[in-house]
Each structure stands twice: as structure tokens, then as C-alpha cells.
Amino acid sequence: MKIGFVGLGNMGGPMAANVAKAGHELMAYDADAARLAQFVEETGARAAESLEQLGSCEIVIAMLPTGPVVREVLLSAEQGGFTRNPHPELMVIDMSSSEPVGTRELGEQLARHGIRLVDAPVSGGMTRAADGTLAIMLGVDDEADAARVEPILLTMSTRIFRTGPLGSGHAMKALNNYVSAACFAATAEALVIGEQFGLDPSVIVDIMNVSTGKNFQTEVVMKSHVVERQFATGFKIGLLTKDIRIAADLAREMQIETPVLELIYSRWQTATEQLGADRDNSEAVLSWNRGREALSA
């Protein structure tokens, strides 16, 4: 199949490489010309010269930073180039972590150009993106659309969950990342308190990992990236904070009071402001209450 892929960053790069490896004819696109050139050299994919050319593919996958960027690329960039002359059966798979309400609106806007949309955000980080073992949350309105995209998604994933109609994958993804960010916040505070009391952070994490406090953050992020000081998960603070905001917006939309979610969002916002949106999310520990002094020593 002729597949387009836009967004070749930390996640999109290895995901697109797996699509190409499965034997599909891949046309790649990224705003970063150097990144695009390197990807083309490494994988043998073809570089799209324009968004109009990308729209000539049967399927186009987006793995961009945010929903607004996805909408910009698909609807307005290059004077609406993507929608100018689309493949008659063009389907877009938005695998970015976008806003569910915006995704539904985008679905309606693309439908006016005869383009179909499904959302299929992922979880698993760069390691599982490279291994092709991501978890995928698929939001899709139509059975035929699901049948069409699932074989392509299986080149990047070993587990696809059908979450419901368009936008439901994006809602699920934001909720997952909120819970994950809350675990990080709780663990970061526990590390700071423990270290101040005289406990060794490395021992704290080892004990939690065989105790009831265990979670992804203690097992992977706190262990390798914080205690062992790698700070290289490949997931930017700004992107995680954006996901928590999506969950908070969703709660407001549902008219549900969520004080814990609001607090977690505000803490991650502070971390983003203090450290910068492009820093690795594991570095947020440095912004935690007294963490800068305690854990950066």
C-alpha cells in the first residue's frame, strides 16, 4: 500500500521505519528538512515534496506534537495543499496525542474533502516504538475503516484496543497519561521526602518496585532516568503537560470536578515553565518541591 507519514520525531521516526520494513511504499514528510533527509537515507522511503503530494497516498499517518499542529498541516498549511487533490479513498490516521473534541471537528472538516479520519494514539515510548510493540487506542466510526487500518497499525503494534467512535482513542490516551503523570508526581515527592530524611533514592525506588507503590514511573522512569541520571526517555515535558491539559479540558467538558487532576496539571505546568518544554519529562523531578537541591546534587 502507498502510505504517507508526517512527523518523524522521537516516536514517528521509528514507527514510520516499521511501516516501511513491513513492505509498504512509504512517502515521508517532516518540517525538519535534515531529519527528513536522514530518515530517507536510512529507510529508502521517498520524501514528499509537498503536502499535496502526501495527499496522493491511500493512507496518511500523522505523528505530530499536538492536535492544533495536526489540523494546521492537514487543513491550512501550503494553502490547504493536503486537501487540494486527495486520493479518492484517502484515510488519515492521527496517531499523535491530540484533543478528542478537536479530532471530531477535524473529522467533519476532512469529510468535506472526501477524506476519512480515525484516531490511533499510542503508548509505550520510544523503546516500544522501535520494537513495533506499542499499545494502540483506536477510535473509529465505521467497521470498514477499522478493517482497512488495522493491518497497517499492526506493523507498529502488538495490541490494538477499539475504544469507540472517532476521538475516543484520544480521550483514552489523555486519561492514561494523566494517571502516569500523577504517579510521577507522587513518586517525585516521595523521593524528595525520603532523601531529606536520609534514605537513599536508589533504595527507595528498588523497594517500591517490589512493593505496592510499583508503577511504570517507579519501574522505568525513576529507576533508569532519574536515579541513574540518564534523563533520556525521549518524551518531552511540554508534550506530557499537554496531555494532562487535554484530560483536564475533558473533565471540564464533562462537568466533573477533578481537584487532583487540576493540581497535577498545575505542577507539571510549573515544571514546564521552570525547565523548558523541550526537556525530557523525567527531568521534571528537578522542579519538584526542593528537588532541585536534593536530587541534582
**Quick check: 187 binds ligand NAD (CB under 6 A)?**
no
**Quick check: 69 binds ligand NAD (CB under 6 A)?**
yes
Among residues 3, 4, 5, 9, the one that binds ligand NAD under rule CB under 6 A: 9
For residue 5, list its beta bridge partners: 28, 61
CB of 10 to ligand NAD, least distance (A): 4
Among residues 96, 168, 215, 287, the one that binds ligand NAD under rule CB under 6 A: 96
**Quick check: 184 binds ligand NAD (CB under 6 A)?**
no
Any idea which residue has 496531555 for its cell?
243
CA-atom Rg of the chain in angstroms: 20
* Helices (H) then strands (E): counts for the chain: 14, 9
Among residues 40, 53, 125, 179, the one that binds ligand NAD under rule CB under 6 A: 125
Restricted to residues 204-233, the positions that interact with ligand NAD (CB under 6 A) are none
Question: In degrees rounded to 5, what are phi and psi of residue 139?
Answer: -105, 120
**Quick check: 63 binds ligand NAD (CB under 6 A)?**
yes
Among residues 3, 11, 19, 183, the one that binds ligand NAD under rule CB under 6 A: 11
Nearest CA among 295, 297, 271 for reference residue 194: 295
Quick check: helix, strand or coil at residue 170?
helix
Stretch that binds ligand NAD, among 20-28, 60-68, 214-222, 249-257 (CB under 6 A): 60-68
Q: In terms of CB distance, is 57 or 204 closer to ligand NAD?
A: 57
CB of 69 to ligand NAD, least distance (A): 5
Single-letter code of the amino acid located at 45: A
Is 173 considered catalytic here? yes
Per this entry, what is the length of the chain?
297
Cα 90 to Cα 103: distance, rounded to the nearest angstrom: 17
Cα 164 to Cα 61: distance, rounded to the nearest angstrom: 19
Among residues 18, 43, 83, 97, the one that binds ligand NAD under rule CB under 6 A: 97
**Beta-carbon contacts of residue 151 (< 8 Å; ≥ 6 apart):** none
Cα 107 to Cα 99: distance, rounded to the nearest angstrom: 12
Stretch that binds ligand NAD, among 9-17, 101-109, 205-213, 218-226 (CB under 6 A): 9-17
**Quick check: 239 binds ligand NAD (CB under 6 A)?**
yes
- Residue 222 burial by CB count (10 A; 0-12/13-18/19+): exposed, middle or buried? buried
CB of 63 to ligand NAD, least distance (A): 5
Cα 162 to Cα 210: distance, rounded to the nearest angstrom: 32
Among residues 10, 38, 50, 258, the one that binds ligand NAD under rule CB under 6 A: 10
**Mind telling me the catalytic residues?**
173
The residues of the shown chain that bind ligand NAD, judged by CB under 6 A, are: 6-12, 30-32, 35, 63-65, 69, 73, 96-97, 122-123, 125-126, 234-235, 239, 243
